[in-house]
Structure 1
Amino acid sequence: MGNEPSGRGVSTSVVHAFEILDQVAAAGSEGITLAALSGGASKARSTTHRYVTTLLQLGVLCRDDGGRLHLGARLLALATELLDGDILRSVAKPILATLGAETGETVHLGVPTGGQITYIDKVESSHSVRLVSGIGHQIALYCTSMGKAVLSRLPPEDLDAVLASPRPAVTAHTLTGRDELLAELARIRASGVSMDAEENELGVCCVGAAVVDRRSRPVAAISVSGPAARMTASRRAEIAPLVRDAARAIEEALGYRGRVPAPVPGAPTEASR
C-alpha cells in the first residue's frame, strides 16, 4: 500500500484492512482469491481471513460464486454519498444565490441525515440582522421548515418510524401532537411548501421546500429564514412560491423528474393559520 501512514495514533488494523481493499481493487473485475490475498498481504492467512470476514459482513467486500473477492456495494454507496453531496451543492449553488437575492434573507440547503437535517450550504442574508447558523449544523425534522418538508414526502412506513421518536416542545409554538403534526404535513404536501413560525427558535421564521428524486423521495430541502419581525405571515406567503420554484429548479438541474404538487384548492394558507 503506497504512502502507508505511520506514527502515533495510527491504527495498524485499519491500515491492513485498506491494504486488502487495495489488492482487491487492483485485481479488477476478475476478483482475487483468499489464498492470493494472503500471499500478498503483510499478515498471516488467519489474520487476513479475519479481516476479510469482517469486511464481507460490512458489505465492503463481496464474494462471487467462485469464491473470488470483489469490492462490495457498501463502498459504492459511500462514494455515492460523497459525490451526490458535491454535485448537489454545485448544482444548487446558483439557484440558492438567486433565491437569496430575491428574498434578501438567509437561504439554507440541507440533507436528511440520521433523523435530522444537516446544513450543507448557505447563502447569507443581505441584512445586518440575520440568522446565525453554520455548515454542518443539524436541526430537528418535526419542528423546522426543511424537516417538515422532508417528512411530508416520506412513505407512510418511514414517517411512522420517525414519529415514533419523542418530539419535545422546543418553543411554545412547536407542534408536538401526532394528529396536529400529520395535519400540518398534509397541508405541506398539498401546497409544496412548509412553514416554521417560531417552532424551532423564538424570533425566527422560515419557509422551506423538499427536493425530491425521480421516485418522489426527499433527498434534500431548502429554506429561507429570517427574523420574525421581517418574516411576517404575509411575507412568508410572498416567499413561498419562490422557495417552491427554487426546489423544483434544483430537481430539474439534477435530472430528477419528481415534481412538487400544485396547491390544492381550499387548502389552508399560511396567512389563515
Structure 2
Amino acid sequence: MSSVLEKSLAIVELLADHPTGLPVSAIAAHTEQPASGVHRTLQELARLGYVRQLQTQGDYVLTIRMPAMGLGFLGRAGVTDVAQPILDALAAFSGELIRLSVVDSGKLIWVAVAQGATRGLRYDPGQEQGVVVHLASSSGGKAWLSTMSDEDALARVSEQGLIRKADSAGPNAPRSLKLLLDQLAEARTLGYAVAVDSYLAGMAAMAVPVRYRLSGPVVGCLSIAGPAVRMTAARMAELAPHLKAAATELGEAASGSKYFQVNIRALESGLRVDSAQPSPR
C-alpha cells in the first residue's frame, strides 16, 4: 500500500468485517501496516467520527456513521425501493434466504437481502451486504461468469483468485479452472448456477443473472440460498421458474432506480468500447 487514503480504506474495510472490533496490533497485522501508523490513522478516523475506541487501550470499531451513509445512499439511489419488495416476495414464497448482488466497477457486490425462513434450520449470514462476491465459489458469481465467454470469465477469476481465502469455504468449491468451466457450462444449460457446499460448508444456493429490461446488460445477480439438506437439486428445479421471474421483474424495475441508470450507462459505454476491440479468438 502506498497512499494514506489506501491505507485508511484498508482499515475501514477490515473493521467492517469485524463489527465487534479489533485491537491495533491485529489491524496492523491484517493490513500489513506498522502499528504506529495504524494508531495514527485510527485517531484521525475517530476525530472525524468514523471509528471509536471501546475503552482506553481497547479495541476499535466502526461507528454507525459509515453504515448509515451506505444505507442512505442505497435508499436515495432507489436500489432498496426497487428491489426489496421483489426480494421479500420471493423470500416468502421460497422460505429461504434471498440475496441481490449488483455489478459495480467490475465487481459483484451483495447489496440487499430478504430472509424467508422463520423457524428451524436456516442460512442467515447477516453481514454480507457490501461484501464483494467471490466469483468462483458462489452461485451468484458463477451466474455472472456464465453470461461471459470462457476467456472473459477466466480473466475475472484470475483477478480475484480461484480459491476463497476463508476458514468457512466449502469443500466442493472448484479447485481447478477446468472444473469451474464445466460448472459454467452447466449453468448455461440449466439457466441458473448452482453452488453446493462451495461458498460455505453445509450451504447450497442457486442464482440467475439480472438483465436490464430482459435483453440488456447484466446489472446483477439474484440468488436463493439455504441449508444443503433442504436445497436439493429437485427443490432448485422447482424454484428456478420463480427465481427467473423475480430476476426479470428486477430487470424491468431497474429503470426506476437512479443507481441502476448510472450503472447501465457505464456498462453500455464499456460494451461499446469492448465491441470496438478485435476478438481474441
Q: Matches of 1:217 and 1:189 in 2, distance apart?
A: 16
Is the alpha carbon distance of 1:98 and 1:113 closer, same or farther for their aligned partners in structure 2, counting shifts above 3 Å?
Answer: same
Q: Matches of 1:157 and 1:126 in 2, distance apart?
A: 38
Structure 1: which 4+ aligned runs deviate by more than 4 Å?
A: 82-85, 113-116
How many residue pairs end up in the alignment? 177
TM-score (norm 1): 0.57
1:145-156 alignment to 2 at 5 Å? 145-155=139-149
Q: Please say if residues 110 and 130 of structure 2, whose CA atoms lie closer than 8 Å, have aligned partners that are also in contact.
A: yes
Q: Matches of 1:182 and 1:84 in 2, distance apart?
A: 37
Shift of 1:83: 7.6
TM-score (norm 2): 0.56
Shift of 1:126: 2.8
Q: Matches of 1:232 and 1:208 in 2, distance apart?
A: 14
Shift of 1:160: 3.4
Is the alpha carbon distance of 1:190 and 1:232 closer, same or farther for their aligned partners in structure 2, counting shifts above 3 Å?
Answer: closer
1:1-273 alignment to 2 at 5 Å? 86-113=77-104, 116-128=107-119, 129-133=121-125, 134=127, 135-155=129-149, 158-165=152-159, 166-168=161-163, 170-213=169-212, 216-255=216-255
Is the alpha carbon distance of 1:85 and 1:144 closer, same or farther for their aligned partners in structure 2, counting shifts above 3 Å?
Answer: farther
Q: Please say if residues 145 and 208 of structure 1, whose CA atoms lie closer than 8 Å, have aligned partners that are also in contact.
A: yes
1:138-174: CA deviation from partner (whole Å, max 9, x where unpaired): 3301111111111111355532321334312633211
SS of the residue aligned with 1:140?
coil
Is the alpha carbon distance of 1:151 and 1:216 closer, same or farther for their aligned partners in structure 2, counting shifts above 3 Å?
Answer: farther
- Structure with max Cα Rg: 1
Q: Matches of 1:142 and 1:84 in 2, distance apart?
A: 30
**Letter matched to residue 131 of structure 1:** Y
Q: Matches of 1:83 and 1:228 in 2, distance apart?
A: 31
1:2-41: CA deviation from partner (whole Å, max 9, x where unpaired): xxxxxxxxx9xxxxxxxxxxxxxxxxxxxxxxxxxxxxxx
Is the alpha carbon distance of 1:223 and 1:245 closer, same or farther for their aligned partners in structure 2, counting shifts above 3 Å?
Answer: same
Is the alpha carbon distance of 1:88 and 1:187 closer, same or farther for their aligned partners in structure 2, counting shifts above 3 Å?
Answer: farther
Q: Please say if residues 93 and 116 of structure 2, whose CA atoms lie closer than 8 Å, have aligned partners that are also in contact.
A: no
SS of the residue aligned with 1:180?
helix
SS of the residue aligned with 1:243?
helix
Q: Matches of 1:253 and 1:112 in 2, distance apart?
A: 16
Q: Which runs of 5+ in 1 are unaligned?
A: 1-10, 12-81, 257-273
1:241-260: CA deviation from partner (whole Å, max 9, x where unpaired): 2111111111122359xxxx
Q: Please say if residues 96 and 122 of structure 2, whose CA atoms lie closer than 8 Å, have aligned partners that are also in contact.
A: yes
Q: Please say if residues 136 and 163 of structure 2, whose CA atoms lie closer than 8 Å, have aligned partners that are also in contact.
A: no
Q: Which runs of 5+ in 2 are unaligned?
A: 6-72, 261-281
1:18-71: CA deviation from partner (whole Å, max 9, x where unpaired): xxxxxxxxxxxxxxxxxxxxxxxxxxxxxxxxxxxxxxxxxxxxxxxxxxxxxx
Is the alpha carbon distance of 1:194 and 1:149 closer, same or farther for their aligned partners in structure 2, counting shifts above 3 Å?
Answer: same
SS of the residue aligned with 1:149?
helix
Is the alpha carbon distance of 1:181 and 1:84 closer, same or farther for their aligned partners in structure 2, counting shifts above 3 Å?
Answer: farther
**Letter matched to residue 153 of structure 2:** L
Q: Please say if residues 108 and 121 of structure 1, whose CA atoms lie closer than 8 Å, have aligned partners that are also in contact.
A: yes
Q: Matches of 2:103 and 2:175 in 1, distance apart?
A: 20
